[in-house]
Amino acid sequence: MILNNYRYKEGFMYTNKPQVHVEQGEQLKLTIKRLGINGEGIGYYEHKLVFVPGALPTEKVVVEVTEDLNNFIRADLIEILRKSEDRVQPVDDYANEVGGFELENLAYPKQLEFKRDVIKDSLEKYKPAGYRKYKLLPTIGMDDPTHYRNKATFQIRSDGQKVIAGLYKHRSHTVVDLKTSALQYPLTMKVMRAVVEMIDDLGIPVYDEEKNAGIIKTVVVRAATATDEAQVTFITQSKKLLKKHQLLERIDHDLPEVVSVMQNVNPGKTSLVWGEETIHLAGKDKITEVLNNLSFDLSARAFLQVNPEMTAVLYQEAFKALELSGKEKLVDAYSGVGTIGLSVARQVREVRGMDTIKDAVDDANANAIKNGIVNALYEVGEAEKLLPLWIEDGWNPTAMIVDPPRTGLADSLIDTILDITPKKFVYISCNPSTLARDLVKLTRKYNVEYIQSVDLMPQTSRCECVVKFKKK
């Protein structure tokens, strides 16, 4: 599309004239016009997009160029010449250094507005049928948008003098040592810092990424907020864990909250956090969380939303959108440990769910038994393969909830949904972009009644939402 001598494509602006080039380290003055989908400020220099983490709309800033690519510039915020009225003091000192704290500079009511706007922008990009008429409800937020994360996954490294644990600095593999975090549930940080000190005291070799050497790569601490049980998982380069017995003795003596210790083996250089093999080291192999008055046993790799308080809100919004009568045969796709399907099992006739991770399915079926639920069954496999088999056997679903990962729905599953067209259908999304993409196909047979955004991850750019569909 050509407009005023500039060409717009997929969210970027290009000039018909040769693009200006700037050098790394060069400083620029610019005004921030808006926020990008990842929470970074966006301004323009000589009609070229500039992405500036930590900068807010309306601010006049000085930035330092870190990278000049063909159609946009990346830059660090150096000085704010004119502050936004919506700027607040971040609750973490390193909020602009690492990922997961992108919006701590922004007043919370404006964060909630931003998350609804991200959905709107995604819809405008993909243009599913009728998108201009979709009702985008105000984002539901938290009374206290801090200390909510029930899981910490920290990289373990050495700074040459001591063992450190934290997250990667923006666009690098340099670990920033996080000694505190206002977003983490306090128990996760207490356990994390104590375990890191133990690793340091015992001299256990930690991972050196450049040399691909050392033992402990990552430590994962998950806390069950309802029971205050904690689980520690050491992700290691090999099965060998030096001074394992001394480490377990220290954990047992110093951290009574830790009721489960596991080891996951993930050899070699990889972008994946988890490996395929998990070993039980001490205590129980699972911890117990309570959600919607149900108890859920969680194994080390089992997925659970990181914000239990707002997860309950998200699920209630999904169930409200389904308008259940009690007669439904409900499909719980991408089921994980069964938190969605089991939470609503007593309000429907029957639940069937599926997940591709066997441990999660085993947990889901065990959780059904644990909670006395007899009308729910979970199987290992992909929804697009299992659903046709169930229908061939005479089990026809009348309602469906999908809660896919950030990659959205597989095309084959969308095709299956459109073939089956259950009367009641709700989509829980954690990525507005892939949601909008999927809506292009889903709106062939469904209308979108509304989209309700829910803030499961305050202070970050991440957004969850519930889509209520009506069959055409």
Task: Encode the chain (472 residues) as per-residue pLDDT tens digits.
Answer: 323 333 333 344 444 555 789 999 999 999 999 999 999 999 999 999 999 999 999 999 999 999 999 889 999 999 999 999 999 999 898 887 888 899 999 999 999 999 999 999 999 999 999 999 999 999 999 999 999 999 999 999 999 999 999 999 888 889 999 999 999 999 999 999 999 999 999 999 999 999 999 999 999 999 999 999 999 999 999 999 999 999 999 999 999 999 999 999 999 899 899 999 999 999 999 999 999 999 999 999 888 899 999 999 999 999 999 999 999 999 999 999 999 999 999 999 999 999 998 988 999 999 999 999 999 999 999 999 999 999 999 999 999 999 999 999 999 999 999 999 999 999 999 999 999 999 999 999 999 999 999 999 999 999 999 999 999 9
Q: E strands within 23-118?
A: 27-35, 41-45, 48-52, 60-68, 72-82
Residue 22 is encoded by which pair of tokens? 């700037």
Whole-number pLDDT of residue 341: 97
Residue with tokens 């973490």: 92
Q: What is the reported pLDDT for 19?
A: 73
Residue 10 confidence (pLDDT): 36
CA–CA distance, 341 with 400 (Å, rounded to integer): 10
What's the rounded Cα separation, in Å, for the pair 413 and 434?
14
CA angle 139, 312, 379 (to 5 degrees): 120
Q: Which of 420, 335, 328 is nearest to 375 (CA)?
A: 328
CB of 164 closer than 8 Å to CB of 158: yes
State the residue for tokens 């691909």.
212
- Of all helices (H) and strands (E), which one includes residue 80? strand 72-82
Range list of β-strands (E), 284-328:
287-291, 294-298
> In sequence order, which residues have a C-beta less than 8 Å from that of residue 394 and are 6 or more positions away?
none
Two tokens at 295?
A: 């108890």
Out of 376, 430, 454, 466, the active site residue is: 430
- Give catalytic status of residue 430 as yes or no: yes
Q: Which tokens in the block code for residue 156?
A: 């373990």
Contact 426, 471 (CB under 8 A): no
End-to-end CA distance of the chain: 33
Two tokens at 404? Answer: 């896919």
Q: Residue 77 carries which side chain, given as an amino acid letter?
A: L
- From CA 459, how far away is CA 88, in angstroms rounded? 12
- Cβ contact 418:394 at 8 Å: no
Model pLDDT, residue 9: 35
What pLDDT, on a 0 to 100 scale, did the predictor assign at position 167? Answer: 95
pLDDT of res. 319: 97
Name which of 133, 134, 143, 83 is nearest 109 in CA terms. 143
Q: Are 252 and 270 in contact (CB under 8 A)?
A: no
CA distance 348 to 333: 16
What is the pLDDT, as a whole number, of residue 435? 98
pLDDT at residue 93, as a whole number:
85
